[in-house]
Amino acid sequence: MGFLLLLPFFLIRFLLLSRLDQQALGRAAHFAPMPKTEKGFYWLYQVTNIMIFILILVLPIKRSPSSIYYMGLLVYLFGLLALTASIISFASCDNTGFNCSGVYRFSRNPMYAAYFIFFIGCAVLLHSRLLLAAVLLFQLAAHRIILAEENWCIQRFGSKYLDYMKKVRRYF
């Protein structure tokens, strides 16, 4: 039953993004080069990503009329809303690939933030400490990937990105 939580995620992340901008799919799948000392975080990101999806696929949703259930549902829905907003903004960048409009006015990494919120909501709805631990490790690894992406953006966009970094926070 938990697999139902992933259907909107995949529809937004892949179908909506491809409908808005086919090239954006490739940009969203791009990983910036990482120093050799950081490669372990890339692999941790991939392993925890797989773990998260497997756990969500096999765990049942704990539908009980409790405050925890409703809190999890609220976080889950907010994660989907944040993901939708970040996908729409991501698809509408300038011709260089730089984007500072839409939700990118408030967060330099709204898609990663939305993933985190969405997966936390799933962990609460599924009452899974293991999933929560995987999400926290995933976010730790994602943070290191984000740092590499920001270095890549500085190299690619120069002072334009540095100015953007001064105005907009990394996450929220």
Q: What is the pLDDT of residues 36-91, one digit of tens each?
A: 888 899 999 999 999 999 999 999 987 777 889 999 999 999 999 999 999 999 99
Query: Domain spans of the chain?
Result: 3-15+44-167
> For position 98, what pLDDT does the model report?
82
- Measure the CA–CA gap between 47 and 38, rounded to whole angstroms: 15
Average confidence (pLDDT) over 148-163: 93
3-15+44-167 fold: Four Helix Bundle (Hemerythrin (Met), subunit A) (1.20.120)
> For position 60, what pLDDT does the model report?
92
Burial class, 32, CB count within 10 angstroms (exposed 0-12 / middle 13-18 / buried 19+)? middle
User: Would you give the DSSP letter of residue 37?
Assistant: G
Which residues have a Cβ under 8 Å from the Cβ of 60 and sit 6 or more positions away? Answer: 1, 2, 126
Q: Name the pTM for this structure.
A: 0.91
Q: What is the mean pLDDT of the chain?
A: 92
Average confidence (pLDDT) over 3-17: 94
Q: Kindly report the CA angle at 166 between 138 and 106, in degrees rounded to 5? A: 60
